[in-house]
Amino acid sequence: MIKAASIQLEVIEGRSKEETINYALSMMDRCKGSDLVILPELWNIGFMDYDSYHSDSEPIDGPTATAIGAKAKELGAYVFSGSFVEKRDDKHFNTSIMFDRNGRKIGQYSKIHLFTYQCREAELLSRGTEISVVETEYGKMGLSTCYDLRFPELYRKMCEMGAEYFLVTSAWLYPRQEAWDTFNRARAAENVCYLISCDSVGVQQGNRFLGHSYVVDPWGTVIAASDFREGILRAEIDPGMVKRVRDSFRVLNDRVFIR
Protein backbone atom coordinates (compact mmCIF):
# COMPACT_ATOMS: atom_id res chain seq x y z
CA MET A 1 0.00 0.00 0.00
CA ILE A 2 1.03 3.59 -0.64
CA LYS A 3 0.62 5.88 2.35
CA ALA A 4 -0.29 9.27 0.89
CA ALA A 5 -0.43 12.60 2.74
CA SER A 6 -1.91 15.80 1.28
CA ILE A 7 -0.89 18.84 3.33
CA GLN A 8 -3.79 21.31 3.15
CA LEU A 9 -1.81 24.38 4.17
CA GLU A 10 -3.38 27.63 5.36
CA VAL A 11 -2.30 30.86 3.68
CA ILE A 12 -1.54 33.42 6.41
CA GLU A 13 -1.38 37.08 5.36
CA GLY A 14 1.59 38.86 6.87
CA ARG A 15 3.67 35.72 7.37
CA SER A 16 6.98 35.99 5.54
CA LYS A 17 8.01 33.59 2.82
CA GLU A 18 10.84 32.25 5.00
CA GLU A 19 8.46 31.68 7.92
CA THR A 20 5.99 29.95 5.62
CA ILE A 21 8.66 27.60 4.25
CA ASN A 22 9.75 26.69 7.79
CA TYR A 23 6.14 26.11 8.80
CA ALA A 24 5.54 23.87 5.79
CA LEU A 25 8.62 21.84 6.71
CA SER A 26 7.20 21.37 10.21
CA MET A 27 3.95 20.12 8.68
CA MET A 28 5.95 17.71 6.53
CA ASP A 29 7.57 16.37 9.70
CA ARG A 30 4.10 15.20 10.72
CA CYS A 31 4.02 13.07 7.54
CA LYS A 32 6.86 10.78 8.67
CA GLY A 33 6.09 7.26 7.49
CA SER A 34 4.25 8.45 4.39
CA ASP A 35 5.34 7.28 0.94
CA LEU A 36 3.92 10.26 -0.95
CA VAL A 37 3.48 13.86 0.24
CA ILE A 38 1.80 16.70 -1.67
CA LEU A 39 1.70 20.46 -1.01
CA PRO A 40 -0.62 23.19 -2.46
CA GLU A 41 -0.16 25.69 -5.29
CA LEU A 42 2.01 28.80 -4.69
CA TRP A 43 1.85 28.05 -0.97
CA ASN A 44 5.07 29.92 -0.09
CA ILE A 45 3.51 33.31 -0.95
CA GLY A 46 -0.17 32.55 -1.52
CA PHE A 47 -1.82 32.51 -4.94
CA MET A 48 -3.53 35.89 -4.55
CA ASP A 49 -0.36 37.86 -3.69
CA TYR A 50 0.25 39.04 -7.25
CA ASP A 51 2.66 41.76 -6.09
CA SER A 52 5.05 39.04 -4.89
CA TYR A 53 4.98 36.90 -8.02
CA HIS A 54 8.09 38.47 -9.54
CA SER A 55 9.82 39.79 -6.42
CA ASP A 56 9.66 36.40 -4.66
CA SER A 57 10.35 34.29 -7.74
CA GLU A 58 13.19 31.76 -7.62
CA PRO A 59 15.30 29.66 -9.95
CA ILE A 60 14.36 26.00 -10.16
CA ASP A 61 17.01 25.18 -7.53
CA GLY A 62 16.14 28.11 -5.25
CA PRO A 63 15.40 28.07 -1.50
CA THR A 64 11.90 26.57 -1.70
CA ALA A 65 12.89 23.63 -3.88
CA THR A 66 16.13 23.08 -1.94
CA ALA A 67 14.28 22.93 1.38
CA ILE A 68 11.55 20.61 0.10
CA GLY A 69 14.05 18.30 -1.59
CA ALA A 70 16.09 18.01 1.60
CA LYS A 71 12.94 17.21 3.58
CA ALA A 72 11.94 14.55 1.03
CA LYS A 73 15.29 12.86 1.63
CA GLU A 74 14.90 13.16 5.41
CA LEU A 75 11.42 11.61 5.28
CA GLY A 76 12.35 9.01 2.68
CA ALA A 77 9.20 9.93 0.74
CA TYR A 78 8.21 10.98 -2.74
CA VAL A 79 7.22 14.65 -2.54
CA PHE A 80 5.25 16.70 -5.04
CA SER A 81 6.47 20.11 -3.92
CA GLY A 82 3.42 22.18 -4.64
CA SER A 83 4.23 25.15 -6.83
CA PHE A 84 6.27 28.32 -6.58
CA VAL A 85 6.97 31.13 -9.03
CA GLU A 86 10.00 30.01 -11.01
CA LYS A 87 12.19 32.62 -12.72
CA ARG A 88 13.63 31.20 -15.92
CA ASP A 89 15.66 33.62 -18.01
CA ASP A 90 13.36 36.63 -18.41
CA LYS A 91 10.12 34.70 -17.84
CA HIS A 92 8.17 33.46 -14.82
CA PHE A 93 6.30 30.16 -14.46
CA ASN A 94 4.01 28.44 -11.96
CA THR A 95 6.26 25.42 -11.42
CA SER A 96 6.17 22.29 -9.24
CA ILE A 97 8.84 19.64 -8.70
CA MET A 98 8.60 15.93 -8.00
CA PHE A 99 11.30 14.57 -5.67
CA ASP A 100 12.11 10.92 -5.05
CA ARG A 101 12.85 9.30 -1.70
CA ASN A 102 16.46 10.46 -1.90
CA GLY A 103 15.51 14.08 -2.45
CA ARG A 104 16.46 13.98 -6.13
CA LYS A 105 14.38 15.86 -8.67
CA ILE A 106 12.75 13.30 -10.97
CA GLY A 107 10.33 15.64 -12.73
CA GLN A 108 8.97 19.15 -12.91
CA TYR A 109 5.85 20.73 -14.33
CA SER A 110 5.03 24.31 -15.26
CA LYS A 111 1.30 25.05 -15.29
CA ILE A 112 -0.09 24.96 -18.81
CA HIS A 113 -3.54 26.45 -18.21
CA LEU A 114 -3.20 29.85 -16.54
CA PHE A 115 -6.29 31.24 -14.83
CA THR A 116 -7.87 34.33 -16.43
CA TYR A 117 -11.16 34.83 -14.55
CA GLN A 118 -10.78 37.87 -12.27
CA CYS A 119 -7.13 36.90 -11.94
CA ARG A 120 -3.71 38.26 -12.96
CA GLU A 121 -1.91 34.91 -13.24
CA ALA A 122 -1.93 34.88 -17.06
CA GLU A 123 -0.76 38.50 -17.11
CA LEU A 124 2.22 37.90 -14.83
CA LEU A 125 3.30 34.37 -15.72
CA SER A 126 4.14 32.42 -18.85
CA ARG A 127 2.38 29.15 -19.50
CA GLY A 128 4.23 25.86 -19.53
CA THR A 129 4.35 23.78 -22.68
CA GLU A 130 5.47 20.33 -21.48
CA ILE A 131 3.29 17.56 -20.06
CA SER A 132 5.00 15.77 -17.17
CA VAL A 133 4.56 12.11 -16.24
CA VAL A 134 7.18 10.72 -13.86
CA GLU A 135 8.23 7.16 -13.12
CA THR A 136 8.12 5.89 -9.53
CA GLU A 137 8.37 2.49 -7.90
CA TYR A 138 4.56 2.50 -7.70
CA GLY A 139 3.94 3.36 -11.35
CA LYS A 140 3.73 6.55 -13.36
CA MET A 141 2.38 9.78 -11.87
CA GLY A 142 1.06 12.71 -13.92
CA LEU A 143 1.66 16.21 -12.55
CA SER A 144 -0.90 19.02 -12.80
CA THR A 145 -2.01 22.30 -11.24
CA CYS A 146 -5.43 23.64 -10.22
CA TYR A 147 -7.13 25.17 -13.30
CA ASP A 148 -5.75 22.26 -15.37
CA LEU A 149 -8.60 20.21 -13.91
CA ARG A 150 -11.07 21.97 -16.23
CA PHE A 151 -9.26 20.61 -19.32
CA PRO A 152 -9.80 16.84 -19.60
CA GLU A 153 -7.58 16.48 -22.65
CA LEU A 154 -4.48 17.07 -20.48
CA TYR A 155 -5.39 14.18 -18.20
CA ARG A 156 -6.25 11.89 -21.12
CA LYS A 157 -2.85 12.65 -22.63
CA MET A 158 -1.13 11.82 -19.34
CA CYS A 159 -3.14 8.59 -19.22
CA GLU A 160 -1.96 7.76 -22.74
CA MET A 161 1.60 8.38 -21.50
CA GLY A 162 1.08 5.68 -18.89
CA ALA A 163 -0.06 7.65 -15.86
CA GLU A 164 -1.86 5.64 -13.18
CA TYR A 165 -2.00 8.51 -10.67
CA PHE A 166 -2.81 12.19 -11.13
CA LEU A 167 -1.30 14.61 -8.61
CA VAL A 168 -3.01 18.00 -8.42
CA THR A 169 -1.54 20.97 -6.54
CA SER A 170 -4.10 23.73 -6.17
CA ALA A 171 -5.28 27.09 -4.84
CA TRP A 172 -8.93 26.64 -5.82
CA LEU A 173 -11.19 29.39 -4.53
CA TYR A 174 -14.59 29.38 -2.85
CA PRO A 175 -17.44 29.31 -3.95
CA ARG A 176 -16.71 27.02 -6.93
CA GLN A 177 -16.89 23.85 -4.85
CA GLU A 178 -19.34 21.96 -7.06
CA ALA A 179 -16.97 22.27 -10.01
CA TRP A 180 -13.97 21.24 -7.88
CA ASP A 181 -15.79 18.19 -6.51
CA THR A 182 -16.94 17.15 -9.98
CA PHE A 183 -13.57 17.55 -11.69
CA ASN A 184 -11.65 15.65 -9.01
CA ARG A 185 -13.91 12.64 -9.43
CA ALA A 186 -14.39 12.91 -13.19
CA ARG A 187 -10.69 13.10 -14.09
CA ALA A 188 -10.08 9.94 -12.05
CA ALA A 189 -13.11 8.00 -13.33
CA GLU A 190 -12.81 8.83 -17.03
CA ASN A 191 -9.13 7.79 -17.10
CA VAL A 192 -9.33 4.92 -14.57
CA CYS A 193 -6.63 6.57 -12.46
CA TYR A 194 -6.09 7.55 -8.87
CA LEU A 195 -6.27 11.29 -8.25
CA ILE A 196 -4.72 12.98 -5.21
CA SER A 197 -5.30 16.71 -4.85
CA CYS A 198 -4.01 19.29 -2.39
CA ASP A 199 -5.75 22.65 -2.07
CA SER A 200 -4.93 25.69 0.03
CA VAL A 201 -7.14 27.00 2.84
CA GLY A 202 -7.43 30.38 4.52
CA VAL A 203 -8.25 33.89 3.28
CA GLN A 204 -5.96 36.14 1.26
CA GLN A 205 -6.88 39.63 0.05
CA GLY A 206 -10.53 38.87 0.74
CA ASN A 207 -10.52 35.63 -1.24
CA ARG A 208 -11.19 32.33 0.53
CA PHE A 209 -9.43 29.16 -0.59
CA LEU A 210 -11.70 26.16 -0.76
CA GLY A 211 -9.69 23.34 0.79
CA HIS A 212 -11.59 20.05 0.40
CA SER A 213 -8.59 18.10 -0.89
CA TYR A 214 -9.32 14.63 -2.23
CA VAL A 215 -8.07 11.13 -2.79
CA VAL A 216 -10.17 9.45 -5.48
CA ASP A 217 -9.83 5.86 -6.67
CA PRO A 218 -9.92 4.60 -10.31
CA TRP A 219 -13.70 4.09 -10.13
CA GLY A 220 -14.15 7.76 -9.28
CA THR A 221 -15.01 6.90 -5.68
CA VAL A 222 -13.77 9.30 -2.98
CA ILE A 223 -11.70 7.35 -0.45
CA ALA A 224 -10.56 10.38 1.58
CA ALA A 225 -11.60 14.03 1.72
CA SER A 226 -10.88 17.04 3.89
CA ASP A 227 -12.85 20.16 4.81
CA PHE A 228 -12.03 23.90 4.82
CA ARG A 229 -9.54 23.74 7.69
CA GLU A 230 -5.77 23.30 7.68
CA GLY A 231 -4.65 19.74 8.19
CA ILE A 232 -3.17 16.62 6.64
CA LEU A 233 -5.39 14.37 4.56
CA ARG A 234 -4.15 10.77 4.73
CA ALA A 235 -5.09 7.70 2.72
CA GLU A 236 -3.75 4.28 1.85
CA ILE A 237 -3.70 3.50 -1.86
CA ASP A 238 -3.52 0.06 -3.44
CA PRO A 239 -0.98 0.38 -6.29
CA GLY A 240 -2.37 -2.67 -8.08
CA MET A 241 -5.93 -1.38 -8.30
CA VAL A 242 -5.54 0.64 -11.51
CA LYS A 243 -4.43 -2.40 -13.50
CA ARG A 244 -7.15 -4.59 -12.05
CA VAL A 245 -9.88 -2.11 -12.87
CA ARG A 246 -8.54 -1.39 -16.35
CA ASP A 247 -8.29 -5.11 -17.10
CA SER A 248 -11.89 -5.79 -16.05
CA PHE A 249 -13.62 -2.52 -16.99
CA ARG A 250 -12.13 -1.76 -20.37
CA VAL A 251 -13.52 1.72 -20.91
CA LEU A 252 -10.22 3.00 -22.31
CA ASN A 253 -10.36 0.32 -25.03
CA ASP A 254 -13.95 1.12 -25.93
CA ARG A 255 -13.34 4.71 -27.03
CA VAL A 256 -14.59 5.68 -30.48
CA PHE A 257 -12.82 8.60 -32.12
CA ILE A 258 -15.42 10.92 -33.64
CA ARG A 259 -14.30 13.50 -36.17
Note down pLDDT in tens along the chain; length 259 residues.
999 999 999 999 999 999 999 999 999 999 999 999 999 999 999 999 999 999 999 999 999 999 999 999 999 999 999 999 999 999 999 999 999 999 999 999 999 999 999 999 999 999 999 999 999 999 999 999 999 999 999 999 999 999 999 999 999 999 999 999 999 999 999 999 999 999 999 999 999 999 999 999 999 999 999 999 999 999 999 999 999 999 999 999 998 988 8
Number of domains in the chain: 1
Would you say residue 259 lies in a domain?
no
Would you say residue 258 lies in a domain?
no
Would you say residue 141 lies in a domain?
yes
| Nearest residue to 164 (alpha-carbon basis) of 185, 184, 136, 186 | 136
CATH number, domain of 62, equals 3.60.110.10
Domain span holding position 24? 2-253
Would you say residue 20 lies in a domain?
yes
**What per-residue confidence (pLDDT) applies to 107?**
98
- Angle (CA) 232 234 237, round 5°: 155
Would you say residue 28 lies in a domain?
yes
Would you say residue 27 lies in a domain?
yes
Would you say residue 173 lies in a domain?
yes
**What per-residue confidence (pLDDT) applies to 259?**
84
Helices (H), 121-207: 121-124, 152-160, 177-191
Would you say residue 238 lies in a domain?
yes
